[in-house]
């Protein structure tokens, strides 16, 4: 009966799809976040260089034609051409971009802190984010531009960024991932030859399973089958900064979820988030993602699996040669790739039970770091994160570093 009601609801939405798409198109053309970004408006110029840090912009082309932005950062006293420490790639989460590592003061933001500790900091930005550079042939107004999920972010974006940094530095790199950045990392690490380029990884709010997620807002969207509705309406880009995106959030909250504290209803209660800086954060966040990516994440919640995108029986047979999507086997992550995982007691997205599920499937035993009062956002924006968390990441990396000067 529930599936019938969902089908009817999707049918009704489809009847109004042309009107909704028309409104969405107006939003696309009228929203400043979709106008071509001037060449001088870069992450380096906007956030990093004004804080006094050396920063250079790099462009990486993925194997499927997307043009990603990478930033390379060194300390205020260092020389970007004479880095003393090993390279570290920072990989952001869902609806975020590389700016999320630099939103607080230099003494509180992980990107700045690593640079001040003489790491060679590289900042990743996946396809679709405002800092990246589009595609070699597709416009961001094309449906095909948004035909991807975290599966492609792992297999192409992250893998190709790691390969680029490895070729530029001629050494193995460290990886730091947060949230979706950990999904990408764990999936990528299951692939052959990745250990030749990655020394170790620190995973903040590690996710490979989402079966026990407790975030009320997210569960409401899953139960509404919002992912199916959006795709049925022909909407392929998710831009929560647009008028359409704001109305979408309002519709989910309406009478069903207390969204007075929207962040808490999505991520869990964050102990140390600086509420006085929310207006500043919102100058940069959120970034766009794809509807297909949301669909893939919701598949993980519903099915309790860590698998490739589920296209349905017949397309799965065509693409994968089997009726169900292949799993990402965490047992394929080599023992030689050292992992450090930090998770929080108040995190409604990376639930402790799901973290335990991940640990059971790994061949190695990661170093674990548990913060009882931390929510999902605290791991990147806590005012106390340096002493609570980041100093421990640095200690872990230094214990794995092979550079004699480090």
Which of the residues are catalytic? 179, 347, 376
Alpha helix segments (H runs only) across 309-390: 313-320, 352-361, 378-381, 385
Q: Quickly tell me which residue has 């620190």 as its tokens.
A: 202
Q: Do β-strands 54-61 and 67-74 pair in parallel, antiparallel, or remain unpaired?
A: antiparallel
Q: Which run of H or E residues covers position 228? A: helix 226-232
Could you tell me the two tokens for 27?
A: 């939003």
Decide if 238 contacts 289 (C-beta within 8 A). Answer: yes
Q: Please choose, from the candidates 142, 298, 152, the residue with its C-alpha nearest in 3D space to the C-alpha of residue 234.
A: 142
Decide if 326 contacts 307 (C-beta within 8 A). Answer: yes
Decide if 380 contacts 178 (C-beta within 8 A). Answer: yes
For residue 237, the SS3 value is: strand
Could you tell me the two tokens for 327?
A: 């799993």
Q: Quickly tell me which residue has 């640079």 as its tokens.
A: 115
DSSP state of 387: I
CA distances from 263 to 267, 303, 340, 346 (A): 6, 25, 26, 13
Decide if 263 contacts 270 (C-beta within 8 A). Answer: yes
> Angle 72-99-269 (CA atoms, 0-180°, nearest 5)?
135
CA distances from 31 to 26, 36, 71, 186, 242 (A): 8, 11, 26, 35, 6
Decide if 337 contacts 364 (C-beta within 8 A). Answer: yes
What gap in Å lies between CA 387 and CA 20, rounded to an integer? 48
DSSP letters spanning 145-190: GG---HHHIIIIIIHHHHHHHHHHHTS-EEEEEETHHHHHHHHHHT
Burial of residue 85 (number of CB atoms within 10 Å: 0-12, 13-18, 19+):
buried
């Amino acid at each position: 009966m529930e599936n019938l009601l969902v089908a009817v609801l999707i049918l009704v939405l489809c009847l109004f799809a042309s009107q909704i798409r028309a409104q969405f198109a107006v939003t696309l053309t009228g929203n400043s976040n979709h106008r071509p970004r001037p060449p001088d408006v870069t992450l380096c110029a906007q956030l990093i260089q004004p804080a006094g840090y050396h920063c250079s912009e790099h462009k990486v082309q993925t194997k499927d034609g997307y043009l990603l932005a990478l930033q390379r950062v060194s300390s205020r006293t260092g020389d970007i051409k004479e880095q003393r420490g090993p390279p570290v790639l920072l990989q952001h989460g869902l609806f975020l971009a590389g700016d999320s590592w630099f939103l607080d003061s230099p003494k509180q933001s992980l990107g700045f802190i690593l640079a001040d500790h003489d790491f060679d900091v590289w900042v990743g930005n996946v396809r679709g984010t405002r800092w990246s550079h589009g595609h070699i042939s597709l416009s961001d107004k094309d449906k095909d531009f948004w035909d991807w999920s975290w599966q492609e972010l792992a297999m192409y974006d992250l893998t190709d960024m790691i390969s680029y940094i490895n070729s530029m530095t001629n050494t193995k790199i460290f990886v730091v991932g947060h949230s979706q950045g950990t999904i990408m990392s764990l999936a990528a690490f299951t692939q052959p030859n990745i250990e030749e380029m990655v020394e170790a990884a620190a995973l903040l709010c590690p996710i490979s399973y989402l079966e026990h997620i407790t975030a009320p807002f997210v569960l409401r969207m899953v139960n509404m089958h919002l992912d199916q509705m959006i795709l049925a309406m022909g909407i392929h880009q998710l831009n929560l900064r647009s008028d359409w995106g704001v109305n979408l959030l309002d519709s989910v909250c309406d009478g069903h979820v207390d969204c007075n504290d929207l962040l808490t209803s999505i991520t869990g209660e964050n102990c140390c988030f600086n509420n006085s800086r929310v207006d500043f954060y919102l100058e940069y966040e959120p970034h766009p993602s794809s509807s297909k990516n949301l669909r893939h994440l919701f598949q993980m919640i519903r099915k309790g699996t860590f698998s490739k995108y589920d296209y349905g029986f017949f397309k799965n047979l065509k693409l994968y040669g089997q009726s169900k999507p292949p799993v990402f086997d965490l047992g394929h992550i080599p023992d030689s790739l050292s992992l450090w995982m930090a998770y929080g007691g108040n995190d409604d997205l990376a639930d402790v039970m799901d973290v335990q599920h991940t640990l059971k499937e790994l061949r190695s035993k990661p170093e674990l770091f548990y913060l009882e009062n931390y929510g999902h956002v605290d791991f990147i924006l806590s005012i106390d994160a340096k002493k609570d968390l980041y100093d421990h990441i640095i200690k872990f990396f230094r214990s794995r570093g092979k550079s004699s000067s480090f």
